[in-house]
């Protein structure tokens, strides 16, 4: 069997299993199994499939045929030009979240700022902000200890571990001040930028998700409560518990949630401007609120 024949046979197996984009998925898994790039794959299509690679190739195909996301099989996902380890303990970073990072970077520029990434998961947002803005100090939180372990590894792999502090906790709870305040004591943590991609899928919609998401990605990172807005309500209510209101709040939201999320921010504080950023499908995917110094 040549490498090209293995590719076609793998795509056929995935198609029979009801896997979408079977050619692209087979290609990614073949590249991973062979440890080569796309150019080498195209060059070597007529070469024999290495016998030593067959077991790993067939095992990865079986996992994908069973519905496992290809990113978990490969153990990594690209985000904003960097590689991030992903495991079933973290949500797989999506391309639309790169637009959220891009909007935050554009709105805040440089300077020595403090950014907080709530619900960090793989650490993709926090690590990217730290890597793109070396003068920033970045904090990142997650309720899952396993997710924080993955995020710490990604910070080390991308040479950002000295500028990202990871904290385990529920939304803004570790950072608010006052009596019985979070891990930063009664003073809390003063942040300039609050960014979050929290769970936003309504609970009743979870059974209808694609099986790759429903059966494999962590429910903790998906379930946003009855209407998907529970995390946003809680964060909006917690804003006043911070030592000062952030200059910028940037949230990723679900389809049809942008107006409601913006209303929560308006109720919580006065903002100079609130605007939306659309994703590649034309959906208002990100809500940003900014205020003057």
Q: Does 197 carry a binding-site annotation?
A: yes
Q: Does 122 carry a binding-site annotation?
A: yes
Residue 249 tokens read as: 């709040």
Strand partners, 2: 48
Q: Does 256 carry a binding-site annotation?
A: no
Q: Does 110 carry a binding-site annotation?
A: no
Helix (H) or strand (E) holding 152: helix 145-157
Phi and psi (nearest 5°) for 185?
A: 80, -170
Please tell me the distance from the alpha carbon of residue 138 to that of residue 128, in angstroms, as a whole number: 10
Q: Classify the C-alpha dihedral 200-201-204-206 as positive or negative.
A: negative
Q: Does 48 carry a binding-site annotation?
A: no
Q: How far is CA 86 from the centre of its chain?
A: 10
Please tell me the distance from the alpha carbon of residue 199 to that of residue 210, in angstroms, as a whole number: 16
Q: Does 199 carry a binding-site annotation?
A: yes
Residue 254 tokens read as: 């679900």
Q: Does 142 carry a binding-site annotation?
A: yes
Strand stretches in the chain, DSSP E = 76-79, 82-85, 114-118, 137-142, 164-168, 193-196, 248-252, 273-278, 284-290
Please tell me the distance from the alpha carbon of residue 267 to that of residue 261, in angstroms, as a whole number: 10
Q: Does 198 carry a binding-site annotation?
A: yes
Tell me the binding residues for substrate.
197-200
Tell me the binding residues.
119-123, 142, 197-200
Tell me the binding residues for S-adenosyl-L-methionine.
119-123, 142, 197
């Amino acid at each position: 069997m040549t490498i090209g024949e293995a590719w076609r046979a793998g795509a056929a197996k995935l198609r029979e299993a009801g896997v979408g984009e079977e050619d692209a998925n087979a290609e990614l898994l073949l590249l991973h199994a062979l440890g080569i790039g796309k150019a080498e794959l195209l060059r070597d299509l007529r070469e024999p499939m290495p016998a030593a690679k067959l077991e790993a190739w067939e095992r990865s195909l079986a996992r994908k045929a069973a519905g496992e996301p290809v990113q978990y099989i490969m153990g990594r996902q690209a985000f904003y030009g960097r590689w991030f380890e992903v495991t079933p303990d973290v949500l797989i970073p999506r391309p639309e979240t790169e637009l959220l990072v891009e909007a935050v970077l554009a709105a805040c520029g440089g300077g020595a700022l403090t950014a907080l990434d709530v619900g960090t998961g793989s650490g993709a947002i926090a690590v990217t902000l730290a890597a793109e803005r070396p003068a920033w100090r970045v904090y990142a939180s997650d309720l899952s200890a396993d997710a924080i372990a993955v995020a710490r590894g990604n910070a080390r792999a991308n040479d950002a571990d000295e500028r990202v502090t990871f904290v385990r906790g529920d939304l803004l709870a570790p950072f608010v001040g006052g009596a019985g305040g979070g891990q930063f004591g009664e003073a809390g943590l003063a942040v300039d930028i609050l960014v979050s991609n929290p769970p936003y899928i309504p609970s009743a919609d979870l059974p209808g998700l694609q099986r790759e998401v429903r059966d494999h990605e962590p429910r903790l990172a998906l379930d946003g409560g009855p209407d998907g807005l529970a995390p946003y309500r809680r964060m909006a209510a917690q804003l006043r518990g911070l030592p000062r209101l952030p200059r910028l709040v940037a949230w990723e939201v679900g389809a049809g949630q942008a107006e409601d999320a913006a209303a929560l921010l308006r109720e919580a504080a006065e903002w100079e401007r609130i605007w939306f950023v659309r994703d590649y499908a034309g959906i208002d995917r990100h809500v940003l609120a900014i205020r003057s110094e």
